[in-house]
Structure 1
Amino acid sequence: MANSSSHDSGVCSMPFFDRCKLPATVKDDCDAFVRSRYSGSIRSAPFQGYCSYTLFVGEETAVQFRPFAYKLDIGMTRTACNIFKRLAPETEYLGQLEGTDLHAFSMRKLPGVSLADYRAMSSKTSAREQMVRDFAQLQALAWRKARRVEDLLGEKRTVGSSLTLRLELMSASLPIRFRGTASSILDDISEIEALPWCFTHGDFLAANIMVNPYSGRLTGLLDWAEAEWLPFGIGMYGLEELLGEDNQSGRFVYYSEATQLRNIFWEQLLLLIPELDRSSKTVAIVKKAQQLGVLLWHGIAFDDGNLNRVVEEGRDDREIQRLTVFLSL
């Protein structure tokens, strides 16, 4: 979801400990917590996320500290590993840092570099093609482990349990040029919710996408804290993040080959999921679900996890600019 505090960058300008209203000494306590449990070299990760403080232990392990509000659900991280195998990091809960609201987790370091770093090193068209093919493979893996909506009673989380409510909110309160799209999707929400429900990464952005530094192939996804079961297609909001990037002014711009990349994605997806290829009606609903994903992730403000405010002009202009680009097709 949208965040006015640079949530999408993976690096927040406000230090993590200041944002959590913790004294600077807590960083030393976190470091000591890790040293008491691991031998070998320990260093802070070069880029810190909005919701966590991360240390690297040697070359194989990362330890992450998260406040309760952003605590990882070990059941969900296990589900991610079961479905996506090597693309999700095995995660273990280490306990709570004494005297604080911080919870520690160890996880396997995923190979490669972040897509954000890769883009600074390379702009190969062939690598971009590989990324969208890998993204199609990711969707196919999710499809194969999909569940029926009637089997998810009690397991729907923040977004999945409130799709209609959020669409109604956006239909009424988004900047007026987006309301027609939200209303059109609302008309089809029953068909969208009747799609198979798939395990969906909740924060698909360049800082959380790990790729091979030579080929650009997807090697894993970080930060499954916001993962949940959602109708197939909603998670495809992330495709747009692979079809362009922010320019020097911070405005999202599609690559010149974005249309070609989009076509490659859909060709690959239909090849991997033949049953979709046999139903043009289902494909049309999946594409509506993808638009819903774009609205959910860029039309609802993150606001430190509250997720109950529609983005506003003059306050969330970065996300509104993305909506303008992503919904213009």
Structure 2
Amino acid sequence: MPYVVYSLDSAIERFFAGAGVASSRAECDDIARRSYTVVAGPHRDRIVQFREQAALLDAKVVALAKDMHVELVPRCSEIGRVGGENGPQLVIYEMEKVPGDNCVTARFNLAPEKRVNIVISLARFFAQAWKKGVAERQPVDIVRLHSECCARLDYLAGTLPMRFLPVVAKVQATLPQWFKDDSYPVVLTHADLNEMNILIDPSSGDITGIVDWSEASMQPFGFALYALDNALGTMSNDGWRWYDHAEAMRESFWDVFQAEIGSLSASQLELVKLAETAGILIRYGTAYDSGFSGLVGVRDTNGDDFGFLDALL
């Protein structure tokens, strides 16, 4: 892999050069100065974001996420567009600045006894999704969603090494049970619930925000539970490493989750944990350029590293 040096300025310049927009960085900076800067407002509690036409935010999706996770999802609104009439424009969004630091960096400075607070916060986050999915059924094209899930699993069955195929087959066999009736919720699911999109209070480990809902979609509950494993361990050059007391923290997650939602039958809990397995397969087994939408795949097609799948399945 070539050695690349990244900088904020070069990334911004590449964005404007590659976007093909009829606007310049200076023009966007000027718009920001006349309304908000990147981080602005009297209390520096606002963010202004410029997005290409191919990456627009769905206002209904953001509103649904906010309704489901009131304290964690920032409000967002479109405030205008910038660019010429004869060329592509950038859409300008204003959103709340969520307090906290990215979990990807802040978690390493947490005392071990505070790391469990990330897990407990995640349990409450997922419990909110479950309760909303049970109480308020969103209009979903179940036939289309089932077909999309089948296509993803067929893709995995045709591209993953043999050692993973029994797990894929088990998930494929379970798929109809997530759709057969209303007993299992289909919920708005974050497409990329990685540590960069999770903000935490660095002094306590409590989650303060979940950001970037741009590609969220309706999925069977649990497809984003890979976030739990990411809170219990980390991948390094030497492979996956579980944190101390990872199993105790996992038990805390399920204890809090079930306390928040009431109770789960043994069969429901089994379906949830199989949905977690499905999410791990989809995230770490799907190539990032596979063309599937709704759930982000992160596997690099230029390599054969299946370390995440080997560690988490």
TM-score by length of 2: 0.84
RMSD, aligned CA: 3.1
Tell me the equivalent position of 2:105. Answer: 117
State the partner residue of 1:323: 309
Give the aligned partner of residue 211 of structure 1.
Answer: 200
* Structure-2 residue corresponding to 1:239: 228
Using a 3 Å threshold, how does the CA distance of structure 1 residues 251 and 72 change in structure 2: closer, same or farther?
farther
Pairing of 1:30-41 with structure 2 (within 5 A): 30-38=28-36
Match of 1:45 in 2: none
Q: Which amino acid aligns with 2:233?
A: G
Aligned residue among 81, 84, 92 for 1:104: 92
**CA deviation vs aligned residue, 1:103-122 (integer Å, no higher than 9, x gap):** 221100001111123134x1
1:138 aligns with 2:125: yes
What is the aligned partner in structure 2 of residue 21 from structure 1?
18
1:72 correspondence with 2:60: no
The residue type paired with residue 40 of structure 2 is: V
Superposed displacement of residue 70, structure 1: 1.8
Going from structure 1 to structure 2, the CA distance change for 1:34 and 1:151 (only over 3 Å counts) comes to closer
The answer to whether the 8 A contact 2:50-2:92 is kept is yes
Instruction: Give the 3-state SS of the residue equivalent to 2:50 in structure 1.
Output: strand
Q: CA deviation at 1:176?
A: 2.0
The one-letter code matched in structure 1 to 2:31 is F
Deviation at 1:12, TM superposition (A): 9.3
Asked whether the equivalents of residues 175 and 313 of structure 1 are also in contact (C-alpha less than 8 Å), the reply is no
- The one-letter amino acid of 1:216's match is G
1:127 corresponds in structure 2 to 114
Alpha-carbon distance in structure 1 between the residues aligned to 2:202 and 2:304: 32
Identify if the C-alpha distance between structure 1 residues 153 and 118 changes in structure 2 by more than 3 Å, giving closer, same or farther.
closer
2-side partners of 1:290 and 1:272: how far apart? 18
- After TM superposition, what 4+ stretches of structure 1 lie above 4 angstroms from structure 2? 11-14, 22-25, 147-151, 154-157, 308-314
Structure 2: stretches of 5+ with no match in the other structure: 2-6
What amino acid does structure 1 have at the position aligned with 2:220? P
Give, in angstroms, the shift of residue 236 of structure 1. Answer: 1.2
Give the letter for the 1:15 counterpart.
A
Alignment of structure 1 residues 300-311 onto 2, 5 Å = 300-303=286-289, 306-307=291-292
In structure 2, do the counterparts of structure 1 residues 149 and 112 end up closer, same or farther at CA, with 3 Å as the change threshold?
closer
Q: Give distance in 1, aligned partners of 2:307 and 2:27.
A: 41
Is it true that 1:56 corresponds to 2:45 in the alignment?
Answer: no
Cα distance change, pair 242–76 in 1 and its aligned pair in 2 (3 A): same
Select the structure of larger CA radius of gyration. Answer: 2
Counterpart Cα distance in 2 of 1:138 and 1:161: 28
* CA offsets 1:270-294 (integer angstroms, 9 cap, x no match): 2222231xx1111111110111111
Indicate the residue corresponding to 2:151 in structure 1: 165
Matches within 5 A, 1:182-261: 182-194=168-180, 195-247=184-236, 249=237, 251-261=239-249
Identical-pair percentage: 27
Decide whether the 8 Å contact of 2:282 with 2:297 is kept in 1: no
Partners in 1 of 2:94 and 2:238 — Cα distance?
33
Does residue 1:274 correspond to 2:262, yes or no?
Answer: yes
For the residues of structure 1 that align with 2:143 and 2:78, how far apart are their CA atoms?
23
CA deviations 1:106-148 (Å, max 9, x no partner) are 100001111123134x131122111111111011111111059
1:279-310: CA deviation from partner (whole Å, max 9, x where unpaired): 1111111110111111122221222x833898
Task: State the match for 1:92 in structure 2.
Answer: 77
- 1: distance between equivalents of 2:209 and 2:302? 33
Specify every segment of 5 or more residues in structure 1 that has no aligned partner in the other structure, as ranges: 5-10, 43-54
Distance of 1:61 and 1:257 partners within structure 2: 38
Q: Which amino acid aligns with 1:206?
A: E
Q: Per-residue displacement from partner, 1:65-123 (whole Å, max 9, x unpaired)?
A: 22222211111111111110020000001233214442221100001111123134x13
Relative to the length of structure 1, the TM-score reads 0.80
User: Within the alignment, does 1:177 sit opposite 2:166 as a pair?
Assistant: no
